[in-house]
Amino acid sequence: MSNLDYASYLKLPQLLSAQELESAKNGRPAHDEMLFIVIHQTYELWFKQILYELDLIQAIFSGPVVDDADLGRAVHAAERIVRIEHLLVSQIDILETMTPMDFLEFRNLLMPASGFQSEQFRLIEVRLGLKRDARLAFDGASFDARLPEGARAQIAAAEARPSLRDQVDAWLSRTPFVDMGGYRFREAYEAALNAMLAQDMELIRNHAHLSAAEKEVQLKSLQQSRAMLDGLLDEERYVELRAQGVWTLSRRALQAALFLFLYRDEPAPHSGYRMLNALMDMDETLALWRLRHALMVSRMLGRKVGTGGSSGYDYLRATADKHRAYNDLFAIATFLIPRSALPPLPENVRKSMRYRYEG
């Protein structure tokens, strides 16, 4: 019989002895330093779980075919990551029970340690698909410049492998329903969207409560949306827009993603839609976490420089907007149309996407 018990299984003696207060070592224990340590150690444990879930998801998407049952497991793991991220955001509420003056009791003892040195968080960013060239400069240096040499090597190894974003792009590009049995989704959809855009433009031009300047702004926005759509429909225009950074996913993947969003009520596309939706939730919740972190730093430090020497609030606030891996999926909402305007699918395509049970 095993002698395993709760404490030994969870390694509680090691876990619960891992909180060492720098303030106590300096002879002036600061009560709130314990909270600060526990919160950040908890973050690292949750980061470990997120990476563990990404191991499963990326293994599923690594092959030339993603089995339907495996896709369901990937969706489940992705939605679990989103739940964890929401928890990470809510932990800031607990951390903010520490007042700025309480933080100042031990803040200077932490230098030059900083959350920017979290290897696991950097790995999460890289594996989700945030590219090095898409990052904001970190006080004139690369984002991993202040990590230990071993951690930088791990980051470089992760960057050398396909990210989840790369894998999802390849998976979407294989979606069969976009062109099937003579059906061309692009042609049917373009006609429906053109009709909707023409209706929107007419509504704006005849709107009684909009000024001429407001009408011009809204019409220009619709024209820009139509130009973005050209990139989805026309290969030459897509190459131009991708070079400008308007689109980053492959054209085939963008078309498939749009198809999954539009026809998500059909059984076969539904799991794919849930996967894309989970990726957007991950991106959105990480952006929310960055924003909450920035606001907390502003509340705690004002305009002071962070413990790691960063520029503090301004840098953190900017990353909430800039450090996003799935902006293309968010942009697709520009081209969604009402269910009532969806072009009907040919019967052979519709049947291929539905379950049929026969006795």
pLDDT for 185-199, tens place per residue?
777 888 888 888 888
The encoded tokens of residue 171 equal 């998976």
Q: Is the pLDDT of residue 309 over 60?
A: no
Question: What is the model's pLDDT at position 98?
Answer: 95
- Domain assignment present for residue 352? The answer is no
Neighbour tally for 56: CB within 10 Å: 16
Question: What is the model's pLDDT at position 146?
Answer: 82
Q: Is the pLDDT of residue 177 over 90?
A: no
- Domain coverage including residue 143: 8-347
- Domain assignment present for residue 1? The answer is no
- Domain assignment present for residue 354? The answer is no
Question: What is the model's pLDDT at position 111?
Answer: 81
Dihedral angle computed from the Cα positions of residues 280, 247, 202 and 343, in that order, rounded to the nearest 10 degrees:
-70
**How large is the average pLDDT for residues 96-100?**
94
- pLDDT digits 0-9 by tens, 140-175: 778 888 888 999 999 999 999 999 999 999 999 998
Q: Is the pLDDT of residue 358 over 70?
A: no
- Domain assignment present for residue 99? The answer is yes
Question: What is the model's pLDDT at position 232?
Answer: 79
Question: What is the model's pLDDT at position 344?
Answer: 85
CB crowding 258-268: b at 16 or more within 10 Å, else e: bbbbbbeebeb
Neighbour tally for 41: CB within 10 Å: 12
Mean model confidence pLDDT for the chain:
89
- pLDDT digits 0-9 by tens, 119-142: 999 999 999 999 998 888 777 778
- Domain assignment present for residue 133? The answer is yes
Question: What is the model's pLDDT at position 1?
Answer: 61
- Domain assignment present for residue 3? The answer is no
Q: Is the pLDDT of residue 284 over 80?
A: yes
Question: What is the model's pLDDT at position 178?
Answer: 74
Q: Is the pLDDT of residue 347 over 90?
A: no
Q: Domain count of the chain?
A: 1
- Domain assignment present for residue 196? The answer is yes
* Highest-pLDDT range among 112-116, 230-234, 332-336, 345-349: 332-336
**How large is the average pLDDT for residues 291-300?**
90
Do 122 and 50 form a contact (C-beta atoms < 8 A)?
no
CATH number, residue 336: 1.20.58.480
Phi first, then psi, for residue 26 (nearest 5°) are: -95, 10
Distance (Å, whole) CA 313 – CA 12: 36
Question: What is the model's pLDDT at position 306?
Answer: 54
Q: Is the pLDDT of residue 18 over 80?
A: yes
- Domain assignment present for residue 356? The answer is no
